[in-house]
Amino acid sequence: MRVFFGSILLVLVVYAAGFLLFLARLPSAPAAPHADGIVALTGGDARLDTAVALLEKGAAKRLLISGVDLDTEKDTLGRMSNGGPRFACCADLGYAAEDTRGNAEEAAEWAREHGFKSLIVVTARYHMPRALQEFSHAMPRASLIAYPVETGSVDVAGWWRHKDTAILLQREYMKYLASLVAHSLNRAA
């Protein structure tokens, strides 16, 4: 019985340490990124606004907004995000992705079509580790630049003070671990 409880305690300690390391290693946005393309994962206005602003500033040649709802049109997204002339000419909408793995597959196909070797990936800060894991698997030779955005409802720095944030971050950490294990098993097979 002692071994059983000791094993459970060990698993909990390793999980907690891994979770804290996950939080500590969440990336910050680089000052002036530059790449061939930008990929924005849908899921919040901050992501779209940030990606469009990067495109308009010339951080990349083209923008892919991945995981767009089938009923959404480019003009609508352009108006929502203050898209200018670069948005009009150089933004593409991806409708196929339904999850992060789908975003990565959609982006990989888009990057191949355009001959892009480097991408700026725009998503929520807490979502970035899993997004980069999926993108690295889908595009192992691509250079990926994380450009995380903060979402107003998620206080990563004070996560323990907000039950909803703590649950969200725990869920994201578990999804990250599942992605890591799945890709490790794929490589081993």
Per-residue pLDDT of 13-54, as tens digits, reads 999 999 999 998 988 888 889 999 999 998 777 899 999 999
What percent of the chain shows pLDDT beyond 90?
62
More confident residue, 88 or 143: 143
Nearest 5°: CA angle at 154, between 19 and 18? 5
Type of residue numbered 3: V
Q: How far apart are CA 147 and CA 30, in angstroms?
A: 7
The whole-angstrom distance between residue 77's C-alpha and the CA centroid of its chain comes to 19
Residue 189 — pLDDT band, cuts 50, 70, 90? low
Closest CA to 22 of 187, 151, 177: 177
Full DSSP string of 87-101:
HHHHEEEE---SSHH
Cross-sheet strand order for the sheet of 62-66: 91-94, 62-66, 37-41, 118-124, 143-149
Report all structural domains of the chain as residue ranges with CATH numbers, in order of start. 2-188 (3.40.50)
- Each residue's pLDDT tens digit, 55-113: 999 999 999 999 999 998 888 888 888 888 888 899 999 999 999 999 999 999 999 99
Dmax (CA) of the chain:
68
The letter for the amino acid at 14 is V
Burial group, residue 141, by CB count within 10 angstroms (0-12, 13-18, 19+): exposed
Averaged pLDDT score across all residues of the chain: 90
pTM of the entire predicted model: 0.89
Q: Residues 40-49: pLDDT tens digits? A: 998 777 899 9
Give the CA-trace dihedral at 135, 139, 144, 148, to 10 degrees. -10
List helix spans (H) across 25-92.
45-56, 74-80, 85-90
**Is the Cβ–Cβ distance between 162 and 155 less than 8 Å?**
yes
Torsion sign, CA atoms 154, 158, 164, 165: positive
Consecutive H or E run containing 131:
helix 128-138
pLDDT score at 39:
97
